[in-house]
Every structure is written in structure tokens, then in C-alpha cells.
Structure 1
């Protein structure tokens, strides 16, 4: 889908200025316990399946929507792995748009669907084992990639 009308309207008013944005990220695992990563068109680095929370959406609804839009998969968020924000979550897109994400990271399972490779948002989709995580655009603690996590959500103080 790309950028929603809500965020387009904000960008028209703010230009490339730093925008605070609530977002979701999915650690989506297959049956082999590998994690799904995507690579957007014209980008070299990989990334987790992610996106902005839209007005009126719950974070879990946003995660399900983003996963379907970017991968073609019907997923179910199982639990929150972590919540991250601050300067470590700042990112500048190739078009100059600056964002600082407040990111809710979900562990997700695949319910149904087939990977939709080379779609409108993503050119590559691939599963990686947790000990072979590719270079990624956004910074996350290594903790989120571990299949051996505590039950409570992780955050940085």
C-alpha cells in the first residue's frame, strides 16, 4: 500500500522533518524456526516485516495488515517481544523523510498463505536462521531474534 493518506498529509505539511511514528515489527517464523526478512525495491539491506500503525488500528491489527501487504501471508501475532524507541530507532529514507519510530515488536506465527515475491512494497522475501541474520536497515537488539526468550517483553532503559 505504501504511505497512507494520513502520513502523506503530515509529510505535505512537514516535508522531510523528523516525524515521530508508532510502528509494528514482526519476527515471523516458519516451521523450521527461521525468521522472515524482506528487502524493499532499490534497497540493499534486509528488514523485518514492519510498518506504521494507522489511525483506528490496534498494533496487532497493524501487524496482520502489514504482513499481508508485504508478504501475502496471513499471520497471527503471538506475543510482544519488545518495545523500542529513542534515537536508536531513527531512520532516514532514501527520499529524505526522517522518522523516529516507537516500535512494538511481535513474535508471529504463519496461519496461511504463500509468499508473494516482488510485490508493490517488497522485491525479495527470504527466511534466515537466527544465527545468520542478514545486514538490516533498522537497529534492533539481538535479543529479538533469539528463539530462547523470556516470557516478558524486553525494552531498553
Structure 2
């Protein structure tokens, strides 16, 4: 399913959906951040996705991380709630979703970076190399709050 992201864009369609999702900002012992390159947008992002019925937001973050990156992680902290009505994602099936993400901080406990049907690239990135990558502004915001120590963010 294709998607188009709108970020503070006056031409964005009106949202018709709000889906709870969770992200996991995983940091290894070297201080590098785990990122995946999304196949649907080509941009680098934190692992994350929609919460399933029967799981907590934290369980969702851990599951999505393993599914999208191959890295098994555990939650070590809370980064924030990101619910920006100016961040809209339009899907080809007609769903137009307003951003709603609960973001956690985690550490790796197993696995290896692995590409899959959602990510065509997975790697650890040092903070000084983040500007070399095409990262969506909403992901930059979350990573920036972590790096600046300005969390939990309740937006």
C-alpha cells in the first residue's frame, strides 16, 4: 500500500483516521541509534508501527522493532507522545491518518540488523552522521528530543 506524507502542508487532505502507533529509539553501547530505511518512502526512520489489539504500546514498540529491523530490544525509558495534527499520512486505499505515536527508548538485547519487506536498509547510526541521511522531520524531532535530553515530550 503506497503512502504520501504531509508535514505542515496546507495541501494535505483532511484526516479520517487516528491509529495508535509506537516507535522504539534503540541505542547501542556505542551510542548509535538504530534506523531503518522504509521501502514505501525511502526515508530513514525509527522502527515502529500500529498497535495491535491485545498488546500494550510498549509491547507494540518491541514487536515492531524486531519485525522491521531484526533487532530484539527491551524498553528502558519513555521518550514521549507525538500527536501532531499537522502530520498527515495519506494511503492509496483512502485512509488519511493523523500522526499518533507513543515513542519509547530501548536497548538491544539480541538479533542482527536485517532487511525485510518493510525496510530495505537497517543500520546503526552515530548521532554525528544523522544529517547525512534523508530522515523525515517527525523522526528528527523524536531523535532530537532524545539527544537533547528534552523528554518525555507530551505533544
The question of a shared fold, defined as TM-score above 0.5 by the shorter chain, is answered with yes
Note the alpha carbon deviations across 1:89-126, whole angstroms, 9 max, x for none. Answer: 32234666421122111111001111112x12111012
Total equivalences in the alignment: 139
Cα separation, 2, equivalents of 1:42 and 1:58 = 26
1:143 corresponds to: 144
Against the structure 1 CA distance between its residues 42 and 24, is the aligned structure 2 distance closer, same or farther, given a 3 Å change threshold?
closer
Asked whether the equivalents of residues 75 and 107 of structure 2 are also in contact (C-alpha less than 8 Å), the reply is yes
CA 1:39–1:97 in structure 2 vs 1: closer, same or farther (change >3 Å)?
A: farther
Unaligned runs of 5+ in 1: 3-15
Name the CA shift for 1:17/1:83 in 2 (closer, same or farther; >3 Å): closer
Unaligned runs of 5+ in 2: 2-13
TM-score normalised by L of structure 2? 0.77
State the 1:21 CA deviation.
Answer: 0.8
TM-score, normalising length: structure 1:
0.76
* 1:45/1:135 contact within 8 Å kept: yes
Alignment RMSD (CA, Å) = 2.4
Rounded to whole Å, the distance in 2 between the matches of 1:69 and 1:92 is 23
Structure 1: distance between partners of 2:92 and 2:127: 28
2:15 and 2:98 in contact (8 A); partners too: no
